[in-house]
Amino acid sequence: MTVVTRFAPSPTGRLHVGNIRTALHNFLFSRKHGGRFLLRIDDTDLERSREEYVEAIVDDLSWLGLKTDAMVRQSERFALYEREFERLKTAGRVYACYETPEELELRRKVLLGRGLPPVYERKAEGSPVPEDVAPHWRFKLDHDHPIEWDDLIRGHQKFDPKLISDPVIRRADGSWLYLLPSVIDDIDLEITNIVRGEDHVSNSAVQLQMFAALGAEPPKLAHEALLVAAEGKLSKRLGSYGAEHLREEGVEPMALLSLLARIGTSEPVEAVPSLDGLAATFDFAHFGRAPAHFDPHDVELLNAKLLHHLDHKDVSDRLPDGVGEEEWLVLRGNLGHLAEAAEWIPVLSGEIDAAEVVQDDKPLLDEAARLATSLDWSDDPWHALTDQLKASSGRKGRALFRPLRLAITGRESGPEMAPLVRLIGKERTVQRLQKSALA
């Protein structure tokens, strides 16, 4: 089994959430079935396909963990395309056209005005050829054979080729549109499965006739429902929300991938720490045809849930000095992003400003400092301290715990205090209590 994901390098740069989702589904399908995952760079437009754009695609896939088994560039395969193009010309499945874009648009409007489908009208055999005009080239669809296939997501699909325009496959300047080169690549690379968005269904119908014209068995196709914004309509912001933005925000790749693997399916959306875990349950039978609603806020929620369960070994190479395994286990349940761990280093082992507490809380903190001095710090100093303060002050709940947390950590909220106080240590805890009592 071999599956392929394709990207066209462009100045827009990094991968956005929509094409990440398609690449992920191709990857998971190949991983589950022990197949190969290929990356095809559609760089036939040499002016737009600069090397830095290709490098950006590869870099994003690497950051996401979507490791490819091979990368193929269409710009290195022009000889193959030319050969197969000539085969189709000889077989009468490719023909030259001379209309200008303006002429085509005018004819399209005329057909629509008559209530007819705006399908390209083939010229009769022997029609005059304009002089000094370079042709563009179209693939000639076989109108006598309906196009049918069983889609892995959409079920049985059927198209009447008479209602589809013969597609342009090559421009007048000799450059390629992606339809025919992609088919030639799929045949040559022995691609067995392709996952695409449902906006490519009609393109797939056309390409199936290209496979037949070249005498090849087509891959199995899966067209997934489009990704839409949470409010229910297509959102332009999804086009810019992707790898580059997420990396800048410090989001874990698996948080995004966990969401994109499951939304639009019958599987529960949950934080899964590994691609193998996602691949294990990946099944096109779970996919629905309704649009998949994407909300960036869900990525943030999954990111926090993922961090809360990651072991120290999973993040040790990305943690700052001062956050070892013990510190990580205390902090992880309170983090939304990994970078937030660094913000706790001053609390654990540095200096913090004295907390501003109300006058009524200062006697409590003074008493807490006195009691903490005599506690055995090797056991459970936090509960020993709060138990004694409950008895001596009569306070409990928020009235007791809030001023203590503020004085010791400088924060209104955070990790559980019992393990946190042990990490902060006796001397630092006592000093902070005294400092806040005197502030």
Beta strands per DSSP E along 339-381: none
Model confidence at 205, pLDDT cuts 50, 70, 90, reads very high
Backbone angles phi, psi at 196, to 5 degrees: -140, 170
pLDDT tens profile 241-271 = 788 888 888 999 999 999 999 999 999 999 9
* Tokens linked to 338: 């990994």
Mean pLDDT of the region 221-244: 73
Residues 74 and 44: beta-carbon distance below 8 Å: yes
Binding-site residues: 236
Arithmetic mean of pLDDT over the chain:
91
Distance, CA of 71 to CA of 116 (rounded, Å): 44
pLDDT of residue 236: 47
Residue carrying structure tokens 């005599």: 374
Going by C-beta distance under 8 Å and a sequence separation of 6 or more, which residues neighbour residue 347?
409, 410, 411, 414, 420, 424
pLDDT tens profile 43-61 = 888 777 788 889 999 999 9
Backbone angles phi, psi at 287, to 5 degrees: -85, 140
Residues 234 and 10: beta-carbon distance below 8 Å: no
DSSP secondary structure letter of residue 70: E
pLDDT tens profile 24-36 = 999 999 999 999 9
% the chain with pLDDT above 90: 74
Binding-site residues for ATP: 236
Residue 403 pLDDT exceeds 80: yes
Residue 110 pLDDT exceeds 90: no
Domains in the chain with CATH codes: 228-309 (1.10.1160.10), 312-346 (no CATH), 351-438 (1.10.10.350)
pLDDT of residue 9: 83
Mean pLDDT of the region 364-369: 94
Residue 346 pLDDT exceeds 70: yes
One-letter identity of residue 240:
S
